[in-house]
């Protein structure tokens, strides 16, 4: 376990290093810079600006200086937002995305699992058809369409929720639902197929033959085994929704990290692009690591150290 953890940690650092370097090279390769604007700046002004942000240094020096700063935990100043650092931006916007993301994960799991279980237990009967019809809609209709629909129905027509912005719990509901629709549908389908597979296995028949109640069979025996593919999906899902969805955050004017991730590229805000990429990658790699640990808990037959099973 220790050996596995250390090797995973080292490979995590390597992955992050490669991602940072590739991002650095790519963003400097695309035309236009942070101060490219509709109204061009006079040369002297541009020179002073580049001087201020050390953008006139050779690229390799900029890169090594950046890595040295990152090692100290300083992701640098934003070129776009004066007097704000990338650390400030992440510290302000990540909790917002995380709050929205957690609500969406909660809805996705709380809605998707029961849908999948019900569909599996009532296979080829109306509850199955209903759940899978809903799941098909959730998977095939894009989040921004659902978001627009939710705003139209629940905000403009029924006046139950605000159309946009961020504040109390009432502001979370519509964006969280829009964000949760796809993963909820995906989890429902995943749970259904996985449950159907497990329910057909020998040990379930044995459990039934022993006279256990149907409830105990499903909850104690089938579900734990059926959850493995769902947990595999949860890692990337949590990373994706917690770090923010650009589309949903834009539609609902939510001050989250997802919007920064995309607008920083339009703005060529180099430090913000790099900072958020590093943050996001770290998050993703770490969550994948947690998923691997969760596997072992759910199914001890899966070995972490790569050794052969018994």
Q: What are the residues whose beta carbons fall under 8 Å from the beta carbon of 51, sequence distance 6 or more?
A: none
Considering only 30, 60, 126, 310, the residue that binds another protein (CB under 8 A) is 30
Candidates 14, 18, 52, 125; binder of another protein (CB under 8 A) is: 52
> CA 219, CA 223: separation in Å to the nearest integer?
5
15 contact partners, CB below 8 Å, separation of at least 6: 281, 285
94 is an interface residue for another protein by CB under 8 A: no
Quick one: 274 or 285, whose CB is closer to another protein? Answer: 274
Query: 256 in the Ramachandran plot: left (φ > 0), alpha (ψ -120 to 50) or beta?
Result: beta
Q: Using an 8 Å Cβ cutoff, are 223 and 109 in contact?
A: no
Q: What is the DSSP letter of 309?
A: P
Asked if 82 interacts with another protein (CB under 8 A), we say: yes
Choice from 25, 129, 224, 300 touching another protein (CB under 8 A): 224
213 binds another protein (CB under 8 A): no
Q: Would you say 175 and 100 are in contact if contact means Cβ atoms under 8 Å apart?
A: yes
Given the complex with another protein, which of 26 and 45 has the nearer CB atom? 45
Q: Which is nearer to another protein, 189 or 260 (CB)?
A: 260
- The total of other beta-carbon atoms located within 10 Å of residue 47's CB is 12
133 binds another protein (CB under 8 A): no
Decide: 274 and 75 in contact? Cβ < 8 Å: yes
Return the closest-CA partner of residue 280 out of 265, 266, 292: 265
Task: Supply the minimum distance, in Å, between the C-beta of residue 78 and another protein.
Answer: 9
**Contact of 187 with 105, CB cutoff 8 Å:** no
- Out of 166, 233, 283, 289, point to the residue binding another protein (CB under 8 A): 166
Site string for another protein, 256-285 (x = CB under 8 A): x--xx-----x-x-----------------
Residues making contact with another protein (CB under 8 A)? 30-33, 35-45, 48-49, 51-53, 80-84, 89, 92-93, 106, 110, 148, 151, 155-156, 159-166, 168-170, 173, 219-220, 223-224, 250-256, 259-260, 266, 268
């Amino acid at each position: 376990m220790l050996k596995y953890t250390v090797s995973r940690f080292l490979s995590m650092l390597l992955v992050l290093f490669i991602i940072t370097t590739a991002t650095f090279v790519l963003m400097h390769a695309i035309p236009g810079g942070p101060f490219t604007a509709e109204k061009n700046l006079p040369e002297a002004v541009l020179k002073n600006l580049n001087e201020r942000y050390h953008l006139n240094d050779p690229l390799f020096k900029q890169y090594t200086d950046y890595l040295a700063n990152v090692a100290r935990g300083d992701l640098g100043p934003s070129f776009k937002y004066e007097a704000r650092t990338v650390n400030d931006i992440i510290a302000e916007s990540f909790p917002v995305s995380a709050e929205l993301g957690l609500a969406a994960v909660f809805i996705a799991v709380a809605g998707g699992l029961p849908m999948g279980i019900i569909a599996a237990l009532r296979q080829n009967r109306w509850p199955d058809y209903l759940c899978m019809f809903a799941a098909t809609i959730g998977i095939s209709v894009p989040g921004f369409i659902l978001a627009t629909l939710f705003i139209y129905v629940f905000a403009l027509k029924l006046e139950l929720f605000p159309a946009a912005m961020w504040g109390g719990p009432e502001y979370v509901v519509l964006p969280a639902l829009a964000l949760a629709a796809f993963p909820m549908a995906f989890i429902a389908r995943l749970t259904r197929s996985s449950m159907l597979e497990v329910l057909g296995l020998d040990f379930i028949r044995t459990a039934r033959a022993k006279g256990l109640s149907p409830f105990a069979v499903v909850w104690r025996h089938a579900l734990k085994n059926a959850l493995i593919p769902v947990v595999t999906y949860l890692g990337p899902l949590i990373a994706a929704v917690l770090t923010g969805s650009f589309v949903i955050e834009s539609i609902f004017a939510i001050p989250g990290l997802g919007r920064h991730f995309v607008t920083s590229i339009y703005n060529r805000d180099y430090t913000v692009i790099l900072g958020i990429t590093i943050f996001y990658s770290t998050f993703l790699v770490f969550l994948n690591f947690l998923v691997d640990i969760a596997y072992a808990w759910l199914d001890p037959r899966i070995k972490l150290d790569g050794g052969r099973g018994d």
